[in-house]
């Protein structure tokens, strides 16, 4: 995923990145928690790539 985000950044890809696979989580509302985790992970990759870390 990191390499994909690097390429999307290099190409100035302006659209949304949609996760294909979401981890299984336990507890209440587990599917939404899995999506939140995945979107946070993607956002973190974008931010780290943007700032060169």
pLDDT digits (tens, 9 = 90+) for 1-53: 889 999 998 999 999 888 888 998 888 899 899 999 999 999 999 899 877 65
Q: H-type helices in 1-53, by residue range?
A: 2-10, 30-50
Residue 29 and residue 4 in contact, taking contact as beta carbons nearer than 8 Å: no
Provide the residue ranges of all domains of the chain, joining segments of one domain with +: 2-50
The whole model's pTM is what? 0.76
């Amino acid at each position: 995923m990191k390499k994909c985000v690097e390429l999307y950044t290099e190409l100035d890809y302006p659209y949304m990145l949609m996760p294909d696979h979401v981890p299984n989580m336990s507890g209440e509302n587990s599917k939404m928690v899995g999506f939140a985790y995945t979107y946070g992970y993607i956002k973190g990759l974008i931010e780290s790539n943007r700032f060169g870390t």
